[in-house]
Structure 1
Amino acid sequence: MPEVVLRKRAIIVEEIFHEGGPASPVPLKRGAAISVIRNPFAGRYVEEIASFMDDLKPLGLEMAKALLAALGGDPASVEGYGKGAIVGAAGELEHGALWHVPGGYAMREILGDAKAIVPSTKKLGAPGTRLDVPITHVNASYVRSHFDAMEVGLSDAPKADEIALVLVMTTGPRIHARVGGLAAGDVKGLDGLR
C-alpha cells in the first residue's frame, strides 16, 4: 500500500453574523479542513487503487478531530457536513473518489450517531482551483435549511501530482434560512433522509 505523504494542511473557519438581514445572536460557524497529499497514482493508470482508502483513514480522522476542535470541540454543535477532493492534473477523478469512505466515516465517527450520507464533490484542477463543497444536515438529508456549500481552495495546491482532501462542518442552517421544508427540530433521524 502507498504511504500517505502530507505536504501541507489548513483549517479555515468562517463566522457568519448575517447575510443582509438581521444579525443572528449566535453566528453560524462554517469550517473546512484541507490536507494536501502526494497522489501515489499520478502520471499512470493503476487498476487497483481501492486499498489506498484504508491508508487515508487515519488522516481523515485526524482532520475531522482538528476541524471539530476549531469549531469549538462539541460534537453536538455540528449540524451540517460535506467533503470533497481536488485532484491535480496528473491524476484522475477516480483518485478523488478514494476520499469518500475515509473522509465521510471519520466525520460520522467523531460526531457520534450521524445518520445522513455525507455529500461530496470532486474535480481535477491546477494550483489555486476552488471547490464548492456541498453541505447537508448530519442526520437528515432533506432538511432544506441546511442545504449549503463552502468554497475552499489553496493558492498553491494541488500540484499536478497531488490531491487536496477536504472536510467541511457547520454549526447550523444558512443564517437566514426561511424557505420551508423539513425543520431540523422535526428530524426523526432513522434513515438519514427525514
Structure 2
Amino acid sequence: MTDFALRKTMILLEEIHHEGGPEAASPRLRGAILALVKNPFAGRYEPDLQPAMERLKPLGLMMTERLIAAMGGRGGIDSYGKGAIVGEGGEIEHGALWHVPGGYAMRARLGESRAIVPSAMKVGGMGARLDVPLGHINAAYVRSHFDAIEVGLHDGPRAGEILFALAMARGGRVHDRMGGLTVAEVKGEDGLR
C-alpha cells in the first residue's frame, strides 16, 4: 500500500435519539471512517487500474476494524456503505478502486453480509462533501435502512489525493414508517430479500 501513502484518518460517530418525533428506545448509531491517501495515478492516464485494488485491501481492513471498534463492536451493525472523493489531477475511476477493498473488508469483518455494499464517488476539491449511502447488509430491499451519512474533511482531498470512506450503522432510521420488507422478514438468501 506504500504507493497510497496515508496522510490522515478520521472517525465520525453520531447517535440519533429522535428526528422530531418520540425519542427512540435506544439511539441509532451511525459512523464513518475516512482516510486521505496519496493518489499514485494523479496527473496521468493508467490503462490498468485493477491491480491497485489488491494493494488497497490492507487499508480497507484497518479502516473496518477501527470503525467497528469505535462503534463498540460488531454486534448489531446491520448497515454499510462506502465512498470516495478524488482530488485534483485524478479521475472518477480512481475512486472506483475502492469497490473491492472497501466492500471486501467490511464483508470479511462483519460476517454474513449478502447485500451489495452501496457506493458513491466523485471528483472534488479540498473540503468537498460526499453522502455515503447506507443499506442493510443482508437484504437490499429493507427500506428502513435506506440512508446516508455525509462525510468530508476540511483539508482534503488535496491535489493528488483520494479520500476513501467506509460507513456503518446499527439499526434503521429512528422513525421509519415507509413499509416494505422488515428486518424480521429478511431471508438473506440473495442479497435482495
Structure 2 length normalisation: TM-score?
Answer: 0.98
Q: Which runs of 5 or more residues in structure 2 are unaligned? A: none
Q: How has the CA–CA distance of structure 1 residues 92 and 2 changed in structure 2, closer, same or farther, with 3 Å as cutoff?
A: farther
SS in 1 for 2:75: helix
Q: Hey, what does 1:110 align to over in structure 2?
A: 109
Query: Cα offset for 1:9?
Result: 0.3
Q: Hey, what does 1:86 align to over in structure 2?
A: 85
Once the two structures are superposed, what CA deviation does each residue of 1:107-141 show, in whole Å capped at 9, x if it has no partner?
A: 01101111111000000000100000011000000
8 Å CA contact 1:136–1:147 kept in 2: the answer is: yes
Q: Hey, what does 2:41 align to over in structure 1?
A: 41
Matches within 5 A, 1:99-138: 99-138=98-137
Alpha-carbon distance between aligned partners in 2 of 1:69 and 1:113, rounded to the nearest angstrom: 18
- The structure 1 segments of at least 4 consecutive aligned residues displaced by more than 4 Å after TM superposition are none
Query: Cα offset for 1:49?
Result: 1.3
Q: Hey, what does 1:72 align to over in structure 2?
A: 72
Q: Hey, what does 1:151 align to over in structure 2?
A: 150
Alpha-carbon distance between aligned partners in 2 of 1:153 and 1:26, rounded to the nearest angstrom: 27
Alpha-carbon distance between aligned partners in 1 of 2:147 and 2:24, rounded to the nearest angstrom: 17
Counterpart amino acid of residue 3 in structure 1: D
User: Could you say what the CA RMSD is over the residues aligned between the two structures, in angstroms?
Assistant: 0.9
8 Å CA contact 1:2–1:40 kept in 2: the answer is: no
Once the two structures are superposed, what CA deviation does each residue of 1:46-82 show, in whole Å capped at 9, x if it has no partner?
A: 1111111011000000000100111111x23101000
Alpha-carbon distance between aligned partners in 1 of 2:8 and 2:71, rounded to the nearest angstrom: 20
Once the two structures are superposed, what CA deviation does each residue of 1:5-29 show, in whole Å capped at 9, x if it has no partner?
A: 0000000000100000011121000
Q: Hey, what does 1:97 align to over in structure 2?
A: 96
8 Å CA contact 1:2–1:52 kept in 2: the answer is: no
Q: How has the CA–CA distance of structure 1 residues 159 and 6 changed in structure 2, closer, same or farther, with 3 Å as cutoff?
A: same
Counterpart amino acid of residue 188 in structure 1: K
Structure 1 length normalisation: TM-score?
Answer: 0.98
Alpha-carbon distance between aligned partners in 2 of 1:46 and 1:99, rounded to the nearest angstrom: 16
Q: Hey, what does 2:184 align to over in structure 1?
A: 185
8 Å CA contact 1:116–1:141 kept in 2: the answer is: yes
Q: Hey, what does 2:9 align to over in structure 1?
A: 9
Q: Which runs of 5 or more residues in structure 1 are unaligned? A: none
Alpha-carbon distance between aligned partners in 2 of 1:158 and 1:17, rounded to the nearest angstrom: 32
Query: Cα offset for 1:2?
Result: 6.2
Alpha-carbon distance between aligned partners in 1 of 2:3 and 2:38, rounded to the nearest angstrom: 9
8 Å CA contact 2:3–2:38 kept in 1: the answer is: no
Q: Percent identity?
A: 59
